[in-house]
Structure 1
Amino acid sequence: MDNRNNLLIFILALGVFGILNTELGVVGILPLIAEHFHVSISQAGLLVSLFALALAVAVAISGPILPLLFSVINRKKVMLLVLGGFVIGNIVSIFATNFTTLLIARVIPAFLHPVYISIALTVASTSVSKEEVRKAVSKVILGVSAGMVLGVPIATFIANQTSLKMAMIFFTVVNLIVFIATLLFVPSMPVTEKRSYGSQLSVLKKWVTWLAILAVVCLNAARNGVYSYFAVYLQNVTNVSAKTLTVMLVLFGAATIYGNMVAGKILSKTAMKSVVYYPFVFGALYLLLFFMGSFTGPMFIIVLVWGVLFALGTNGSQYWITSAAPEAPELANGLFLAFGNLGITIGTSVSGLFISGMGTQYVVFSGLLFLILSLGFILIRNYMYSPVKRAGQNF
């Protein structure tokens, strides 16, 4: 990967970080927001919950549609449009005089969230050689992990050390830097081969696409369904203190960042085998979690491995869908976001049923159930669309 491509990938990753930072950074400063605008904590929490709701709607409905609609427009222009929307929303947040204005300024940009992520993943994969694709994509996904792990503590630190307004300015500056960097250093990316919307949507007529989608839904349900109750498990089963819980959350976050760093290398060498083996490896981890989850010492090691595998799963899921529909990359990445989010919703709901019916420790069985289902869809696709079965079929 030459220096020009490295700079491009860095800008894309920073852009993803900026967007995720805007989304999650307010979590740690909700008490300051409530105090500043004279609202309750529950009302301040709407900044997170309504953003998440808008994002869920955007991902579920417009996640595949908007990337498809923008797929015929110069990608640089689309990225600037989205980043500009976030910059404007952040600027409005800085000068908001009432809570309603702040709420609107945060919710509207959420609908543009999946557009940037989808295009960033597509640009990363199309700007490098075939051998470097997985490494480039993993670096962009690293921006997601960094935004999730670093956004809250950075914003909280700035707000506590200076003021709430300075934290809002931080969100703005990050997105503004990416906007300027994109404007100055990202080359124009006109769509040289304009595919009709119909030809791109035709990938939904292929069984290989739906087998990939079903596998990704189950993989995300398996990973996120259990992870959604991560803190609850550590408190109720491992019985850790609040301080130890914080340390484990930080370790998990650091492990996901490392997992993204190694994911590109692993998938570049053995992408297909990695996806096939993934349910087995993650299943072994869940069994270890079930039998050793009550012991604090082993849980530190389990949490580290869990974080690495969690990141590998994100990268593997993105590969599994986009490789099934290479002729429509923007749509494929939109499908990855939409159905990945659906998997999170299903997994969290089913895991909640396991907890309410059997107890917190048995949430692991929900993860194992979805891993088995994902393995079935992975193996069916592998069998039906192997090079031997379908010569020349794209994976």
Structure 2
Amino acid sequence: MSSSSQSRAANLRIFLLAVGAFGLINTEMGIAGILPAVASEYGVTVATAGLLVSLFALAVAFSGPVTPLLCSRFRRKTVMLTSLAVFTACSLASAFVSSFPLMLALRVIPAIMQPVYTSFAFSEAAAAVPAKDAPKATAKVMMGVSAGMVLGVPCVNWIVSVSSVRVGMLFFAAVNGFALLALLFGLPNGERPQAMSYGSQLRHLLEKETWLAILGVVALNGAVFGVFSYLSEYLGTVTGLSASAISLMLLAYGLMNIVGNMIAGNALTRSPRRFACMLPMPIAVMFALFFAFGDLTAPVAVILIVLGVLAGCVGNVNQYWISSAMPDSPEFANGLFLAATNLGTMIGTQLVGLLIDSVGSRVIPVGGIAMLAVALPLLLARVAPRACGILRARRQRANA
């Protein structure tokens, strides 16, 4: 096969992996755009409806480090197709349940399979190209994640606003079903991978740098998605926007996520640690402005565009921050990345939900600022030893 043919085959392979990631993230995060409608449908508070986001994230957080390892003996295509089949079936069933606890159960079941697909998709994308191009390949899969939010969240928000929660759930099922068929007929079977060594993977959990990376990602992702999970609530209650206007705002936010993916991809190749450590500061500024001007439509629109770009950067930074802490264990690193980001989503969603119940929707951005105040020291703590070592080396050379 010529190099151009190999390149086209690799690009198609990566595109199909991104389609599958789109389907899963559409289901995971799309629910965040319809929490008020779900709360009304099942007769619960918006904060209680937020459990559909936080329990999904908690299930991913706990299964993330485990399920990729357990499934590593099977062909990646088989495992990824199984994940998409579970998502499709549970989304379809959730359209017809009338019990909120059962709705929760139908969210948790597919969440257990989400880390398997995403972890394997990152690894499969990296294997499709030369090693030097692996970061670009995984970034394209990450863009599928962002696209799931770009189209999934505002689309389901609009669908539910003009129809019902049931139709929204059927939309999730249709998207996952399409992704399932796309991978079934378009993705090569591939070779059966060698089984992972548990010991060689788990030894990283004894390293301080690994835990600083994990905790930093938990706090950083919790800040962004704790606010995002209640963004439709904030825009409706505080800003006073209509359902259709909220859908447009969420669409703009999601589109900017993709822009952020591209910006971060370039920045992480030049000065990754500096870029990662600086990122919490502009996010905190935007959250503060969001709190101050939340009742004014024009400033909110501008703030959300900037926040969308920054949130897209966070996704790339999170994946880099953990994978760079254990470069020799990419499968396990991807699992921990998913666990950390979803644990952060769960903590951030619960924190902001508590603030809503105790103070009101206006303080939603404050919860994000609180999480960023935790994230920044953790990010700096990881780079501080290396930075000090570089400074000492420079002094020694200057004195020599």
> What is residue 136 of structure 1 aligned with on the other side?
137
Any gaps of 5 or more consecutive residues in structure 2?
Answer: 1-5, 391-400
> What is residue 368 of structure 2 aligned with on the other side?
367
Paired residues for 1:236-251 under 5 Å = 236-240=237-241, 243-251=244-252
Distance 1:27 1:374 in 2: 23
Distance 2:85 2:354 in 1: 42
> What is residue 234 of structure 1 aligned with on the other side?
235
Is 1:8 paired with 2:35? no
Shift of 1:80: 2.8
Distance 1:250 1:218 in 2: 25
> What is residue 19 of structure 1 aligned with on the other side?
24
Q: Does the C-alpha gap of structure 1 residues 294 and 185 become closer, same or farther in structure 2, counting only changes over 3 Å?
A: closer
Q: Does the C-alpha gap of structure 1 residues 29 and 271 become closer, same or farther in structure 2, counting only changes over 3 Å?
A: closer
Distance 1:42 1:361 in 2: 24
Deviates more, 1:358-367 or 1:265-274: 358-367
> What is residue 326 of structure 1 aligned with on the other side?
327
**Contact preservation (8 Å) 2:151, 2:251:** no
Shift of 1:310: 1.0
Structure 2 SS opposite 1:2: helix
Shift of 1:177: 4.7
Shift of 1:65: 0.7
> What is residue 267 of structure 2 aligned with on the other side?
266
How many residues get paired? 380
Is 1:186 paired with 2:191? no
> What is residue 338 of structure 1 aligned with on the other side?
339
Q: Give 1:4's aligned amino acid.
A: A
> What is residue 311 of structure 2 aligned with on the other side?
310
> What is residue 75 of structure 2 aligned with on the other side?
74
**Contact preservation (8 Å) 2:154, 2:251:** no
User: Deviation digits for residues 46-71 of structure 1, max 9, x if unmatched?
Assistant: xx888657634531322211012123
Distance 1:64 1:13 in 2: 21
**Contact preservation (8 Å) 1:59, 1:341:** yes
Shift of 1:118: 1.8
Shift of 1:223: 1.3
> What is residue 279 of structure 2 aligned with on the other side?
278
> What is residue 36 of structure 1 aligned with on the other side?
none
Distance 1:240 1:156 in 2: 13
Q: Give 1:116's aligned amino acid.
A: Y
Q: Does the C-alpha gap of structure 1 residues 158 and 355 become closer, same or farther in structure 2, counting only changes over 3 Å?
A: closer
Q: Does the C-alpha gap of structure 1 residues 83 and 227 become closer, same or farther in structure 2, counting only changes over 3 Å?
A: closer
> What is residue 397 of structure 2 aligned with on the other side?
none
Distance 1:287 1:162 in 2: 35
Q: Does the C-alpha gap of structure 1 residues 130 and 380 become closer, same or farther in structure 2, counting only changes over 3 Å?
A: farther
Shift of 1:142: 2.4
Distance 2:232 2:167 in 1: 30
Q: Does the C-alpha gap of structure 1 residues 299 and 43 become closer, same or farther in structure 2, counting only changes over 3 Å?
A: closer
> What is residue 41 of structure 1 aligned with on the other side?
41
- Structure 1 length-normalised TM: 0.77
Shift of 1:371: 1.9
Q: Give 1:67's aligned amino acid.
A: P
Q: Give 1:136's aligned amino acid.
A: A
**Contact preservation (8 Å) 1:238, 1:293:** yes
Distance 1:223 1:26 in 2: 16
Q: Does the C-alpha gap of structure 1 residues 93 and 10 become closer, same or farther in structure 2, counting only changes over 3 Å?
A: same
Deviates more, 1:312-321 or 1:67-76: 67-76
Q: Give 1:42's aligned amino acid.
A: Y
> What is residue 119 of structure 1 aligned with on the other side?
120
Paired residues for 1:212-227 under 5 Å = 212-227=213-228
Shift of 1:290: 3.9
Distance 2:350 2:171 in 1: 35
Paired residues for 1:170-185 under 5 Å = 174-185=175-186
Paired residues for 1:291-302 under 5 Å = 291-302=292-303
Shift of 1:135: 3.0
- Structure 2 length-normalised TM: 0.77
Structure 1 SS opposite 2:66: helix
Any gaps of 5 or more consecutive residues in structure 1?
Answer: 34-39, 390-395
Deviates more, 1:130-139 or 1:355-364: 355-364
Deviates more, 1:362-371 or 1:209-218: 362-371
Q: Does the C-alpha gap of structure 1 residues 335 and 29 become closer, same or farther in structure 2, counting only changes over 3 Å?
A: closer
**Contact preservation (8 Å) 1:18, 1:147:** yes
Instruction: State the identity %.
Output: 41
**Contact preservation (8 Å) 1:135, 1:263:** no
Paired residues for 1:58-97 under 5 Å = 58-87=59-88
Shift of 1:7: 0.8
Structure 2 SS opposite 1:111: helix
Distance 2:361 2:50 in 1: 25
Distance 1:167 1:230 in 2: 18
**Contact preservation (8 Å) 1:132, 1:268:** no
